[in-house]
Amino acid sequence: MIARYTRPAMGKIWSDENKYRSWLTVEAAASQALAKFGLVPQDAADTIRDKGNFTVARIDEIEAEVRHDVIAFTTTVAEHINNPEHSRWLHYGLTSTDVVDTAQALQLKEASAIIHTGIVGLLDVLKRRAVEFKHTPIIGRTHGVHAEPSTFGLKLLLWYAEVQRNLVRFDTAAEDLRVGKLSGAVGTFGHLKPEHEEAICAGLGLKPVAIATQVVQRDLHAAYVATLAVLASTLDKIATEVRHLQRTEVREAEEFFSEKQKGSSAMPHKRNPIVSEQISGLARVVRANAQTAFENVALWHERDISHSSAERVILPDSTILIDYLLAKTTNLIDKLLVYPARMLKNLESTGGLIFSGQLLLDLAESGMSREDAYRLVQGHAMNSWKNDLVFRDEVAKVPEITARLSPEKLARAFDYNRQLANVDAIFARVLGA
């Protein structure tokens, strides 16, 4: 992932330095645990812990020759230990993936903590702004066409509820991946025992995976990346709505536009939704990465490495992007410019056509058959639309309607507050009393 989209804390997790540091953490934890079982001399375990070290440059130099990153790593660590009697106990009883998969769990645990914090931060902003615009009327649109009144607060509340679901899904997927694996070349504990694995994992703050081959099974990783893809889709959904609301013809809300910001090299008037478009674009990358994660589930027999190269791309990139997208979306909503007057103007722009459904119900309640009421209301609605008439005024001239609905009842049919009477109840459902 290019630096443009990488925030420092998340980028550090996926650096080569931190990857190898995580490998060394696993090696040291394994030596200490095995020393307690009497399998590794305690002084050797202590030396591995205290003197084990590396440089990325030296690992790269050795890997260029041996073409095996874990061997290059253990060779480098042994050089730093500089004591053959102690370094021979490094990596005792382990296979490469015991270290790589377990260390990757440590990296994902770090990354997940940052993402969790980002989701919670977005929830806080969505909740605050939903309450702020709880009763701000806006036209609801279906198929992009004016439907019935809603509130801008309900739009934000809907996003809040969806992000809440994303948080639950994400925490579950992250917890499922908080597992270590030290069961050997085909997962049979050919050289160590399950209790050894349990002790090593406990020292690392991980759970031992119940069963593995040479690798932790990749359905867990697929579920994790898929959850990130769903989260990215929610952020895309929010951004897409902002893009629609910012259209010149709508102009109900727009991204914050700083004093020195420029919208176009050719057109000085432009204020483009560039942040929202960036969110939508990068969300596509995360969704695409989920497909690769699905492909990684099927491996040959007890293991091949077709998943490995792909994961070196999709795991850092997906977590880095989600971290970036959460920050962008949180800032987008926090600073979103909202125009209630324009919302109300748009709501009233059709001359009351949006209340056709309420008028239909009121006529049916008055005793008119639904079929007759529908034909009557639709006929005048289509005529008002076609001839750019004020629907509210037109129906007030229709004897079949005025004979059944008094001026007060007719006015009530066109009162948006009537249709928004349950907004508080919806908020209570989502946020609690």
Task: Work out the number of other CB atoms within 10 angstroms of the CB of residue 250.
Answer: 17
Mean pLDDT for 200-220 is: 97
Note the pLDDT of residue 257. Answer: 72
CB 268 within 8 A of CB 348: no
Q: Is 209 helix (H, G, I), strand (E, B) or coil?
A: coil
Residue 343 — very low, low, confident or very high, per pLDDT cuts 50/70/90?
Answer: very high
Which residues participate in catalysis according to the annotation? 143, 264
Query: Read out DSSP for 60-99?
Result: HHHHHHH--HHHHHHHHHHHHH--HHHHTTTTTT--HHHH
**Which pLDDT tens digit goes with each residue over 314-329?**
999 999 999 999 999 9
φ and ψ at 273, to 5 degrees?
Answer: -80, 65
Residues with Cβ within 8 Å of 264's Cβ and at least 6 positions away in sequence, in order, are 270, 272
Residue 266 — very low, low, confident or very high, per pLDDT cuts 50/70/90?
Answer: low
Mean pLDDT for 50-77 is: 97
Residue 76 has pLDDT above 90, yes or no: yes
Angle at 174 between CA 107 and CA 430, to 5 degrees: 135
Share of the chain above pLDDT 70, in %: 97
Residues with Cβ within 8 Å of 49's Cβ and at least 6 positions away in sequence, in order, are 28, 31, 32
Query: Read out DSSP for 225-246?
Result: HHHHHHHHHHHHHHHHHHHHHT
Residue 174 has pLDDT above 80, yes or no: yes
Task: Work out the number of other CB atoms within 10 angstroms of the CB of residue 207.
Answer: 15
**Which pLDDT tens digit goes with each residue over 213-254?**
999 999 999 999 999 999 999 999 999 999 999 999 999 999
Note the pLDDT of residue 433. Answer: 75
Q: Any idea what DSSP says for residue 355?
A: G
Q: In 205-297, where does DSSP find H-type helix?
A: 219-245, 274-295
Rounded to an integer, what is the distance from CA 375 to the centroid of its chain? 46
Distance CA 305, CA 359 (A): 65
What's the Cα-to-Cα distance from 16 to each of 54, 83, 104, 291, 429, rounded to whole Å? 11, 26, 12, 25, 47
Mean pLDDT for 325-344 is: 97
Note the pLDDT of residue 267. Answer: 66
Q: Any idea what DSSP says for residue 337?
A: E
Query: Closest Cα to residue 185, out of 97, 282, 301?
Result: 97
Residue 1 — very low, low, confident or very high, per pLDDT cuts 50/70/90?
Answer: low
pTM: 0.94
Residue 379 has pLDDT above 60, yes or no: yes
Residues with Cβ within 8 Å of 404's Cβ and at least 6 positions away in sequence, in order, are 363, 366, 367, 368
253-254 and 337-338 beta bridge pairing: antiparallel
Three-class HEC string of 126-182? HHHHHHHCCCCEEEEEECCEEEEEEEHHHHHHHHHHHHHHHHHHHHHHHHHCCEECC
Residue 20 — very low, low, confident or very high, per pLDDT cuts 50/70/90?
Answer: very high
What's the Cα-to-Cα distance from 20 to each of 219, 235, 408, rounded to whole Å? 25, 33, 76
φ and ψ at 272, to 5 degrees?
Answer: -95, 150
Note the pLDDT of residue 273. Answer: 87
**Which pLDDT tens digit goes with each residue over 31-47?**
999 999 999 999 999 99
Residues with Cβ within 8 Å of 257's Cβ and at least 6 positions away in sequence, in order, are 263, 271, 337
Residue 72 — very low, low, confident or very high, per pLDDT cuts 50/70/90?
Answer: very high
Note the pLDDT of residue 260. Answer: 72
